[in-house]
Structure 1
Amino acid sequence: MFQQYYQRFLTANPNVQHFACHSHHYWPDVTREAMLEYWDDTAELVDDKWQRILGEKMPQCQSLIADALHIQAPERIVFAPNTHELLYRIYSIFDQTKRSRF
């Protein structure tokens, strides 16, 4: 179903059934192009890259995700640097004075 988006990893690992999660999973091909684009932006802009990333790229990404999820307010889509921070953010919504059930 989604194999077309993972051709680089699938070609490099033929006949492998891979079930790892988080950063060890196969990455979609588009992430390679995104990393190269980031590298080129960094080379061109050096310290000024953050305006492009935070001012252009991030809002564009928020809008794409919000559209896909049918969310009216793209600014409600936020990013975290890792899974641990994401879970910390989720856990922080619970009332710490009460027992939580997961």
Structure 2
Amino acid sequence: MVFHWNGTIISKLEFGPSYLSPGTNWYPNEFIVNNITPKNGFLRLSAVNGNETDYFKWNQYRYNDDETYSLLQSDTVCSLQNPTSFQVIVFATLDGGYALIYDN
């Protein structure tokens, strides 16, 4: 849920769950990066630990004129060797995109 500083709810769009490491320790291994062009929104990147595969997921959101958020696109990158020590640098590029640099 996204809300204004005064408590008004702006959007109830689900950004994604929090994930547990194998020992059931909560690790919010995620990043949010604003786009260089504000109307293109922001990118949310988060590590995911599933039962069969370890990966990270990215979602790009935009802020709409009617004060809501919408999902523009998303995808996953699979085969992380150790998502609990996931190291990544994410930044917006001058052409309105994003760059992800990660260690595997």
Which bin holds the TM-score, normalised by the shorter protein? under 0.3
Q: Which has the higher contact order (CA 8 A, sep 6+)?
A: 2
Q: Tell me the TM-score normalised to structure 1 length.
A: 0.20
Structure number with the higher helix fraction is 1
Q: Hey, which of these two has a bigger chunk of strand by percent?
A: 2
TM-score (norm 2): 0.20
Larger Rg: 1
